[in-house]
């Protein structure tokens, strides 16, 4: 069989996959040719990562066949796949923080000389690989402490040095800025020209047009549509993904009230990750914070929420100095944080949803320190309903899709009627469908008079939801733009200034 | 006095056993009078630790070595190390197999263990089920005390030895634990011999906890301070022991060290007696320990 | 939108994450094991199945039971406490010193013993929270220190001479049933179950064990809770020491060596994960009973102590591996 | 682009993540501690600073040193091995049985002892990888089982009667310097350092300890490596047992109780994190020396054994807390 006259290097026949009694892939057929980029799109939980993991030997399919370069292919371990020439960059960062960058790139396939590790060669090759991605740092440096973006680039370098014939990239740009993304795309072009087949997964639909040759859309574990070109209107793709037509993504902005709720003055971090930041947010206002990755936004909002120490400066709430020393203090004052890393900071994955909700709401579910299971259940199910979470209270958090997990992280706080809500990358890795309901949540908060701060690396998102936008660069605030004067150009100019 | 010795090294297995503490006090007290310094090391029951400690004693230039082997095995190496330095080696309580010191000092284990067992068997009217809680397996006192007790058992065909177990450290904890286990399997026991007072008193407590105090008699060995006091009170199943001459053994050890250092002849074995002690005569040993 | 979600949630069994206070949710595997063990011993021996033997077992598990409750809390927050055996010894020696040597009243002496024990826990907790010493190491160090201190009180000797009524508390079975020591253990069990299930503080332990960063961001004072948990564990070990002193009618600084391993084994057999965040006191009680019944049964069967060690090792492995299989088949 | 990065990388000291085979990178803190300790003891005692005492210390650390190497590998992969002391005892008893009772030649007896030890490691490794038993529990069980087996060989008795040359290997200092047992330890150190630094197998341990899933995805056979690591650790404990038998000229099944705690302490004092993935044998050697020098020094200072326990506990805490402070100030 051929695709556009090219021979497929990989073909999948009727792949099924079940976890326990739940089938998540229902007979997928897929083909990838040499030198083409296939974009694999779909909502959260559509099965993109699962399918990729099967191809890369990370997990085994329940049934179905694969052929690779014309021969039957059934990798039992990642090693089998790597040996066959199939490499994958996983959605989660897969790095070893204590080891050097070079060792991370060559883990499991160290260059050896006379029975011993050839460190010189390893460093040289690592350096060359990183340089192609624009990352000029010592390959001997440990990965620990590098920004998410740099780590993502190392992950990509790891895959690029594998000399694979098929490369699977599962959301490689989720943590990248536009500069890094550009360099990545150059490398993808180079690989294409060398005849490497690529499966590219992303929720950033604008990228797809730039890089993909074909588009495959999945929904609920099935392949629902294929486009033989990437020149498809985004709206059409989205409709294929969600299975219905999309209404307006961003709800209309409301006018905030005049009274100032949150006031941050001269805030400086002891680690120097942000310096001298001042701004204020009004009742019912949505205040966006934009910037390139590593600009210090995460540390800033964490400090306001009491999660990280503050060196100098004050946080005022309704005119009162409440500069917090612990998250507990901030929460009691009505400032809550929806953290950047949902899995590590937002929810306890192997606890139930109602437990997760209870942990943030002891006051509501207990009387003078005594809890009752009935109250926990009732309280949780009320909030689950109120915030449109798909699931029931007794379900474990790790059984939920990313989007619903994120809703829990937000919902678990809102019952407290906070004055200030800080959201850090509220839609990272979340599909379009779930995203719009999170935007609705955010607007709902503002409408209730909450002062909302949204940190986002997604430019379209900050522009779409914010009344005002503060831009940060290298730990400093470089300007605050009103909704009317903000557009992608004006923000990027500030961010890169 | 020109005793020819300035520093004595004393290696004990485990200071938590009162018996060794008594020996230590005996050695220190007498040596102190003679102006001799004593360095004590405690192996906490680990032979490997004891070998290291002996090396460290020798590094400190001791002139004589009083040595109580920590384990049943491994007894030979410290003697060899000290011999290599030409230092007198005095063994107390336990005889290292294969490499005895210049003299070995221990209590009259066989005879007095026979007396203790004979006493408790007599109180049980020469019949019934009996158990023995041994000390640390393979040590001189363990072997000899069983030998003595076995003689008494064999003389009384009505007595059946239904169980025996070995402890590691001769401690009350172990005595309690072991006796408790034995009582579970054999609730109709009437005689218990613990090879040291710690074991016996632990066993007596287990008997009381099991509510069997009026059916069982317990004999011990050593004449520990705590044991003698308990005999004076005489309100537990533990009713007899053999009081060892610990103070005398300490004095004897120091004197032997001096003698060997001065090339005087010392008998290969010195065996101070142990005295059968019951509720009636325990008070005098509380007054003054032999 | 997201119909997968709906299918998923429809299929979820009532696998609630909340554990009932007196249900042994999550510990059904161990419970079945315990029942099988009892059934086997009832058939294999004459003496196992009797009220008296049952009371004996209760007597024998008192110390382990109380220690294991404290250990459960520590393990729930993903910690570990190796010092419990030494703390027990320290508590005993302080008790003996205060009551027998210093001739203070028993109530004050017990208070002193508990305070001394709790202090060890406070220090361990502070080492862990303030100095970031891993729990394993902090409590390993406290294990050595507490043991040394226990020995230093009397220079290694035992102390006897408690008032007669003290030992009677471990011997006399009130109404033919409960000794005071067993009653204390039962009270500890009930209080711990209620605390774990119905008190905010109890639920916080689960949150901290599940993910300390999430707990901290939820406003829980993780450091304080951690120090309190180690303090409670140490105080409970101290209490176990007091009960052991009553039982032995004597105290000696070499008591409790390696008890920490028994306590940890009981907790893990009872289904609490060393990774923290799941399990609880209900399971631990079963774990303690399994160990107690097993030891008792092996004695009744006159199994040699050496073979007993082998069998107990096998049972520990079986209990934990069985849990794994259960989860795998789910 | 990414100017923060550049500043950062400019600031990187030569603190390379890679540890030189014979450098003690990452263990400089402990190294300084060791030097200070030696300096103090040289001043405080007459006898510490002598060649002979130095050789004594080497003799005294042989067993701990070899065990700690195996423990380092296990801890590097984020595991733990509580069974090493029991495995040592099992190895000794198998050796004694084969050589003295069964009268087999020493070479075969040693081989038998090592195989028996390694088997314990294989079982522990399989329990951990195939049955998902946490390492703490799997090796706790093996600790009990191996100790029981060691005792069963002679029903608890010691065995003596090795050929005379065997003990001489631990006593005679060839060329006035090295006993055979110390030489064996040094060989183990060198081989372990080279393995860890230059062999693929050694580097894999770091990857597995850093994140086993990452290692698996990189094509490493994590299960196999894990089983091999526990096997190597057990075999090294067995080797330590053989050397201890030579040193003591006798074997007894109660040997090695609580040695696992010493070994773990040495590894952690040497800077290897219990979380896995960082540290190494270089640091462990320093940790072993710190413990050895400390014990020796406390004996030379005639510090009471009880106070020694307290001091050793304090040193463990200080060593680890100091590391934390170093990192905090970085
Ligand atoms: N280990 C697992 N156990 C049970 N269910 C799983 C497991 N891994 C994935 N799933 C389920 O399989 C489905 C497909 O998940 P998958 O991760 O492949 O989605 P995806 O398309 O990559 O989504 P996203 O865009 O969020 O990364 C989801 O419903 C998910 O909950
Ligand atoms: N734990 C850490 N150790 C070392 N450096 C860190 C750490 N966390 C963040 N940084 C660095 O601090 C800088 C600011 O990080 P921060 O996370 O606050 O930025 P951000 O604007 O939120 O970007 P991102 O989108 O990557 O989270 C970055 O250069 C980052 O590399
Ligand atoms: O009786 C004792 C002694 O002879 C033995 O060797 O060790 C312990 C003592 O109680
Ligand atoms: Mg995915
Ligand atoms: Mg951020």
Q: How far is the CA of A456 from the centre of ligand 5 (A)?
A: 8
Q: What is the DSSP string of C101-165?
A: IS---HHHHHHHHHHHHHHHHHHHHHHHHHS---HHHHHHHHHHHHHHHHHHHHTT--EE---HH
Cα atoms in the Cβ-side hemisphere of radius 13 Å centred on A76 = 1
- Which chain C residues have a beta carbon less than 8 Å from that of D79? none
**Which residues constitute the domain of residue A146?**
8-241
pLDDT tens across the length of chain A (497 residues):
445 556 789 999 999 999 877 788 999 999 999 999 999 998 777 899 999 999 999 999 999 999 999 999 999 999 999 999 999 999 888 899 889 999 999 988 888 888 888 999 999 999 998 988 888 899 999 998 888 788 888 988 988 888 889 999 998 887 787 788 888 899 899 999 999 999 999 888 888 888 999 999 998 899 999 999 888 888 888 888 877 665 667 888 888 888 999 999 999 999 888 999 999 999 999 999 998 777 899 999 999 999 999 999 999 999 999 999 999 999 999 999 999 888 788 888 888 888 888 888 887 788 888 888 888 888 888 888 877 777 788 888 887 777 788 888 887 887 788 999 999 999 887 777 778 888 988 998 899 999 999 999 888 889 999 999 999 988 899 999 998 888 878 888 888 76
Contact present, D and A (at least 3 Cβ pairs less than 8 Å): yes
Residue B122 contacts D where some CB pair is shorter than 8 Å: no
Is residue A385 domain-shared with residue A451, that is, in the same domain? yes
d(CA B3, CA B10): 18
d(CA A480, CA A277): 11
Residue C252 contacts B where some CB pair is shorter than 8 Å: yes
Q: Is the CB of B135 under 6 A from ligand 3?
A: yes
Tell me: the pLDDT tens digits for C57-72?
Answer: 998 999 999 999 999 9
Is residue A33 domain-shared with residue A151, that is, in the same domain? yes
Question: CA-nearest residue of chain B to D171?
Answer: B81
DSSP letter, residue A156 = H
Domain boundaries, chain C: 57-317
- pLDDT range class, residue D24, cuts 50, 70, 90: low
Partner-chain residue, chosen from C1, C3, C200, that has the shortest CB–CB distance to A371 = C200
The reply to whether residue D9 touches residue A179, judged by beta carbons under 8 angstroms, is no
- Predicted TM-score (pTM) of the model is 0.88
Instruction: Collect residues with CB below 5 Å from ion ligand 4.
Output: A 49, 91
Is residue C21 scored above 60 in pLDDT?
no
Nearest protein CA to atom 2 of ligand 2, as residue: A145
Is residue A220 domain-shared with residue A275, that is, in the same domain? no
Q: Which two tokens stand for residue D189?
A: 């150190």
- Which chain D residues have a beta carbon less than 8 Å from that of B72? 157-158, 252
d(CA B122, CA B131): 15
Tell me: the pLDDT tens digits for D151-201?
Answer: 999 998 989 999 999 999 998 888 888 999 999 999 999 999 999 988 989
Rg for chain C, CA atoms, rounded: 21
DSSP letter, residue A188 = H
- Which chain D residues have a beta carbon less than 8 Å from that of B41? 299, 305
The answer to whether residues C138 and C80 touch, using CB atoms and an 8 Å cutoff, is no
Residue D247 contacts B where some CB pair is shorter than 8 Å: yes
d(CA B88, CA B24): 18
β-strands C159-160, B159-167 pairing: unpaired
Residue D134 contacts B where some CB pair is shorter than 8 Å: no
Q: Is the CB of A291 under 6 A from ligand 2?
A: yes
Partner-chain residue, chosen from C147, C275, C313, that has the shortest CB–CB distance to D148 = C313
Q: How far is the CA of A455 from the centre of ligand 5 (A)?
A: 7
d(CA D97, CA D53): 34
- Which chain B residues have a beta carbon less than 8 Å from that of C155? 15, 21
The answer to whether residues C225 and B149 touch, using CB atoms and an 8 Å cutoff, is no
Nearest Cα neighbor of D237 from D209, D256, D211 is D256
- Contacting chains of A (3 CB pairs or more, <8 Å) are C, D
Residue B59 contacts D where some CB pair is shorter than 8 Å: yes
Residue A249 resides in a domain:
no
Q: Which two tokens stand for residue D143?
A: 């600790």
Residue A255 resides in a domain:
no
Is residue A221 domain-shared with residue A283, that is, in the same domain? no
β-strands B128-136, B159-167 pairing: parallel
Partner-chain residue, chosen from C20, C201, C215, that has the shortest CB–CB distance to A359 = C215
- pLDDT range class, residue D10, cuts 50, 70, 90: very low
What's the domain count of chain A? Answer: 2
User: Which pLDDT score is estimated for A399?
Assistant: 78
CA C227 to chain centre: 18
Return the ∠ at Cα C270 (arms to C24 and C140), rounded to 5°: 140
Which ligand 1 atom sits nearest the alpha carbon of residue A431? Answer: 25
- Tell the CATH topology of D57-317: ABC transporter involved in vitamin B12 uptake, BtuC (1.10.3470)
Quickly list H helices, chain D: 3-11, 28-44, 51-76, 84-96, 106-130, 135-154, 164-171, 180-198, 200-210, 212-217, 222-248, 259-269, 281-300, 305-329
3-state secondary structure C296-328: HHHHHCCCCHHHHHHHHHHHHHHHHHHHHHHHH
The reply to whether residue D313 touches residue C141, judged by beta carbons under 8 angstroms, is yes
The answer to whether residues B91 and B82 touch, using CB atoms and an 8 Å cutoff, is no
Quickly list H helices, chain B: 18-33, 47-59, 76-84, 109-123, 140-155, 172-185, 197-209, 225-233, 246-261, 282-287
The answer to whether residues A313 and A264 touch, using CB atoms and an 8 Å cutoff, is yes
Return the ∠ at Cα C73 (arms to C72 and C76), rounded to 5°: 85
Beta-bridged to residue A264, according to DSSP, are A279, A315
The reply to whether residue D8 touches residue A83, judged by beta carbons under 8 angstroms, is no
Q: Is the CB of A354 under 6 A from ligand 1?
A: no
Question: What's chain B's average pLDDT?
Answer: 92
Nearest protein CA to atom 4 of ligand 2, as residue: A145
Tell me: the pLDDT tens digits for B144-170?
Answer: 999 999 999 999 999 999 999 999 889
Q: Is the CB of A457 under 6 A from ligand 2?
A: yes
- Which chain B residues have a beta carbon less than 8 Å from that of C247? 176, 205, 209
The reply to whether residue A355 touches residue C206, judged by beta carbons under 8 angstroms, is yes
Q: What is the mean pLDDT of residues C192-197?
A: 93
Q: What is the ipTM of this complex?
A: 0.86
d(CA C304, CA A390): 58
The answer to whether residues D60 and D297 touch, using CB atoms and an 8 Å cutoff, is no
Q: Is the CB of B221 under 6 A from ligand 3?
A: yes
CATH number at residue A336: 3.40.50.300
The reply to whether residue B39 touches residue D157, judged by beta carbons under 8 angstroms, is no
**Residue D60, exposed/middle/buried by CB under 10 A (0-12, 13-18, 19+)?**
buried
Nearest Cα neighbor of C229 from C254, C252, C261, C195 is C195
> What are the CA-CA distances from residue B49 to residues A66, B44, B53, C45, D248 (Å)?
63, 8, 6, 43, 10
Residue B230 contacts C where some CB pair is shorter than 8 Å: yes
User: Residue D174 phi/psi, 5° resolution?
Assistant: -60, 135
What 3-state class would DSSP assign to A111? coil
Partner-chain residue, chosen from C141, C145, C316, that has the shortest CB–CB distance to D137 = C316
The C-alpha of C10 sits at a distance from chain D's nearest C-alpha, in angstroms, of 30
Nearest Cα neighbor of C191 from C132, C222, C232, C220 is C232
Best of A221, A331, A351 to disrupt the C interface by mutation (most C CBs within 10 Å)? A351
Pocket test for ligand 2, best of A180, A273, A459 (most atoms within 8 A of CB): A273
The residue among A210, A241, A272 that closes a domain is A241
Best of C46, C53, C156 to disrupt the B interface by mutation (most B CBs within 10 Å)? C156
- Contacting chains of C (3 CB pairs or more, <8 Å) are A, B, D
> What are the CA-CA distances from residue A477 to residues A469, A482, D5 (Å)?
11, 15, 19
> What are the CA-CA distances from residue A86 to residues A6, A62, A75, C110, D212 (Å)?
19, 20, 10, 68, 20
DSSP letter, residue A398 = G
The reply to whether residue A399 touches residue C213, judged by beta carbons under 8 angstroms, is no
What 3-state class would DSSP assign to B117? helix
Residue B232 contacts C where some CB pair is shorter than 8 Å: no
Q: Is the CB of A456 under 6 A from ligand 2?
A: no
The reply to whether residue A394 touches residue C17, judged by beta carbons under 8 angstroms, is yes
The answer to whether residues C288 and C81 touch, using CB atoms and an 8 Å cutoff, is no
The reply to whether residue B47 touches residue D295, judged by beta carbons under 8 angstroms, is no
Least confident of B126-135, C46-55, D89-98: C46-55
Q: How far is the CA of A41 from the centre of ligand 4 (A)?
A: 10
Q: How far is the CA of B95 from the centre of ligand 5 (A)?
A: 73
Nearest protein CA to atom 27 of ligand 1, as residue: A44
The answer to whether residues B267 and B233 touch, using CB atoms and an 8 Å cutoff, is no
User: Which pLDDT score is estimated for B13?
Assistant: 92
d(CA B212, CA B200): 15
What 3-state class would DSSP assign to A137? coil
Q: Is the CB of A177 under 6 A from ligand 2?
A: no
d(CA A131, CA A51): 31
User: Which pLDDT score is estimated for A245?
Assistant: 61
- Which chain D residues have a beta carbon less than 8 Å from that of C324? 131-133
**Residue D28, exposed/middle/buried by CB under 10 A (0-12, 13-18, 19+)?**
middle
Residue A82 resides in a domain:
yes
- Which chain C residues have a beta carbon less than 8 Å from that of D135? none
Beta-bridged to residue B130, according to DSSP, are B161, B191
The answer to whether residues A39 and A170 touch, using CB atoms and an 8 Å cutoff, is no
Partner-chain residue, chosen from A326, A337, A390, that has the shortest CB–CB distance to C6 = A390
Which ligand 3 atom sits nearest the alpha carbon of residue B198? Answer: 10
Contacts 24+ apart (CB under 8 A), A246-250: A246/A432, A246/A436, A247/A436, A249/A432, A249/A435, A249/A436, A249/A439, A249/A464, A250/A436, A250/A439, A250/A464, A250/A465
- Which chain B residues have a beta carbon less than 8 Å from that of C296? 184
Residue A419 resides in a domain:
yes
d(CA B143, CA D263): 34
- Contacting chains of B (3 CB pairs or more, <8 Å) are C, D
Is residue A477 domain-shared with residue A385, that is, in the same domain? yes
Nearest Cα neighbor of C87 from C108, C67, C109 is C67
Best of C218, C276, C279, C326 to disrupt the A interface by mutation (most A CBs within 10 Å)? C218
């Amino acid at each position: 069989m051929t695709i556009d006259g090219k021979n497929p290097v990989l073909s999948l026949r009727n792949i099924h996959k079940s976890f326990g009694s739940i089938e998540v892939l229902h007979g997928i057929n897929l083909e990838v040719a040499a030198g083409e980029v296939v974009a694999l799109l779909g909502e959260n939980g559509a099965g993109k990562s699962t399918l990729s993991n099967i191809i890369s030997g990370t997990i085994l399919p329940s049934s179905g066949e694969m052929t690779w370069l014309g021969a039957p292919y059934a990798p039992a371990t990642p090693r089998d796949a790597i040996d066959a020439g199939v490499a994958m960059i996983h959605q989660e960062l897969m790095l070893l923080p204590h080891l050097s960058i070079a060792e991370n790139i060559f883990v499991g396939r160290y260059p050896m000389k006379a029975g011993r590790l050839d460190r010189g060669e390893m460093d040289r090759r690592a350096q060359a690989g990183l340089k192609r991605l624009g990352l000029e740092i010592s390959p001997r440096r440990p990965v620990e402490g590098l920004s998410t973006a740099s780590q993502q680039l190392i992950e990509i370098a790891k895959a690029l040095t594998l000399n694979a014939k098929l490369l699977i990239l599962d959301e490689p740009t989720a943590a990248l800025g536009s500069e890094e993304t550009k360099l990545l795309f150059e490398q993808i072009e180079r690989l294409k020209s060398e005849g490497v087949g690529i499966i590219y997964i992303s929720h950033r639909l604008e990228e797809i047009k730039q890089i993909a040759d074909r588009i495959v859309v999945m929904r609920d574990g099935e392949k629902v549509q294929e486009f033989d070109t990437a020149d498809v209107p985004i709206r059409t793709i989205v409709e294929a993904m969600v299975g219905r037509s999309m209404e307006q993504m961003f709800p209309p902005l409301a006018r905030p009230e005049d009274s100032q709720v949150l006031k941050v003055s001269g805030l400086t971090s002891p680690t120097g990750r942000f310096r001298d930041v001042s701004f204020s947010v009004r009742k019912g206002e949505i205040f966006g914070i934009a910037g390139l990755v590593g600009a210090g936004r995460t540390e800033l909002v964490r400090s306001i929420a009491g999660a990280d120490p503050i060196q100098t400066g004050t946080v005022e709430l309704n005119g009162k100095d409440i500069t917090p020393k612990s998250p507990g203090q901030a929460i009691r004052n009505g400032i809550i944080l929806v953290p950047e890393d949902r899995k590590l900071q937002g929810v306890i994955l192997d606890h139930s949803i109602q437990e997760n909700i209870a942990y943030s709401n002891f006051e509501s579910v207990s009387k003078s320190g005594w809890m009752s299971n009935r109250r926990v259940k009732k309280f949780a199910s009320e909030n689950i309903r109120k915030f449109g979470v798909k699931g029931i209270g007794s379900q474990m958090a790790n059984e939920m899709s990313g989007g619903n997990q994120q809703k829990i992280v937000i919902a678990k706080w809102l019952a407290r009627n906070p004055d200030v809500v800080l959201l850090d990358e509220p839609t990272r890795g979340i599909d379009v469908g779930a995203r719009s309901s999170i935007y609705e949540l955010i607007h709902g908060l503002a409408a209730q008079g909450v002062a909302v701060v949204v940190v986002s690396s997604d430019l379209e998102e900050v522009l779409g939801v914010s009344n005002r936008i503060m831009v940060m660069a290298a730990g400093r605030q470089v300007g605050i733009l009103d909704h009317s004067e903000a557009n992608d150009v004006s923000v990027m100019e500030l961010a890169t200034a | 006095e020109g005793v020819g010795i300035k520093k004595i090294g004393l290696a004990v297995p485990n200071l938590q056993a009162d018996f060794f503490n008594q020996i230590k006090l005996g050695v220190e007290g007498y040596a102190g009078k003679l102006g001799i310094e004593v360095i004590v090391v405690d192996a906490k029951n680990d032979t490997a630790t004891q070998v290291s400690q002996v090396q460290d004693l020798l590094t400190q230039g001791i002139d004589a070595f009083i040595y109580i082997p920590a384990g049943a095995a491994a007894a030979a190496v410290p003697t060899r190390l000290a011999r290599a330095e030409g230092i007198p080696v005095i063994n107390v309580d336990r005889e290292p197999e294969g490499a005895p010191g210049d003299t070995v000092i221990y209590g009259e284990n066989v005879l007095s263990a026979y007396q203790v067992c004979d006493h408790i068997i007599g109180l049980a009217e020469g019949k019934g089920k009996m158990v023995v809680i041994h000390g640390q397996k393979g040590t001189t006192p363990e072997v000899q005390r069983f030998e003595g007790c076995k003689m008494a058992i064999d003389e009384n065909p009505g007595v059946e030895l239904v169980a025996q177990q070995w402890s590691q450290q001769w401690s009350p904890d172990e005595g309690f634990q072991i006796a408790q286990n034995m009582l579970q399997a054999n609730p109709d026991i009437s005689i218990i011999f613990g090879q040291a007072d710690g074991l016996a008193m632990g066993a007596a407590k287990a008997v009381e906890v099991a509510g069997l105090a009026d059916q069982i008699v317990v004999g011990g060995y050593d004449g520990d301070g705590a044991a003698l006091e308990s005999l004076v009170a005489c309100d537990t199943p533990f009713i007899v022991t053999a009081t060892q001459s610990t103070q005398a053994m300490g004095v004897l050890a120091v004197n032997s060290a001096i003698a060997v250092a001065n090339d005087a002849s010392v008998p290969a074995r010195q065996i101070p007696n142990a005295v059968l002690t019951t509720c009636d005569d325990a008070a005098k040993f509380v007054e003054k320990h032999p | 939108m997201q119909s997968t979600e709906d299918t998923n949630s429809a299929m979820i069994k009532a696998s609630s994450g909340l554990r009932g206070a007196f249900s042994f949710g999550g510990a059904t595997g161990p419970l079945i094991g315990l029942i099988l063990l009892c059934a086997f011993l009832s058939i294999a021996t004459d003496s196992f199945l009797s009220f008296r033997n049952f009371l004996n077992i209760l007597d024998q598990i008192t110390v382990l039971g109380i220690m294991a409750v404290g250990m459960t809390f520590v393990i729930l927050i993903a910690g570990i406490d190796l010092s419990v055996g030494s703390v027990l010894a320290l508590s005993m020696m302080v008790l003996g010193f205060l009551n027998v040597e210093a001739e203070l009243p028993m109530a004050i002496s017990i208070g002193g013993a508990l305070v001394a024990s709790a202090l060890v826990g406070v220090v361990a907790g502070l080492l862990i929270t303030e100095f970031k010493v891993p729990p394993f190491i902090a409590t390993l160090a406290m294990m050595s220190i507490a043991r040394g201190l226990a020995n230093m009180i009397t220079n290694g000797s035992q102390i006897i001479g408690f008032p007669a009524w003290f030992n009677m508390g471990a011997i006399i079975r009130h109404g033919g049933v409960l000794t005071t020591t067993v009653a204390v253990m039962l009270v500890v069990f009930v209080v711990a179950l209620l605390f774990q299930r119905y008190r905010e503080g109890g639920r916080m332990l689960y949150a901290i064990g599940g993910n300390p960063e999430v707990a901290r961001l939820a406003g829980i004072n993780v450091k304080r809770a951690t120090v309190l948990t180690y303090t409670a564990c140490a105080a409970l070990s101290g209490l176990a020491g007091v009960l052991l002193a009553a039982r032995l009618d004597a105290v000696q600084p070499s008591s409790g060596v390696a008890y920490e391993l028994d306590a940890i084994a009981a907790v893990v057999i009872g289904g609490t994960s060393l990774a923290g965040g799941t399990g609880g006191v209900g399971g631990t009680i079963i774990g303690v009973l399994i160990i107690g019944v097993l030891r008792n049964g092996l004695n009744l069967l006159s199994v040699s102590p050496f073979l007993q060690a082998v069998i107990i090792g096998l049972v520990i492995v079986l209990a934990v591996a069985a849990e794994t299989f259960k989860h795998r088949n789910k």
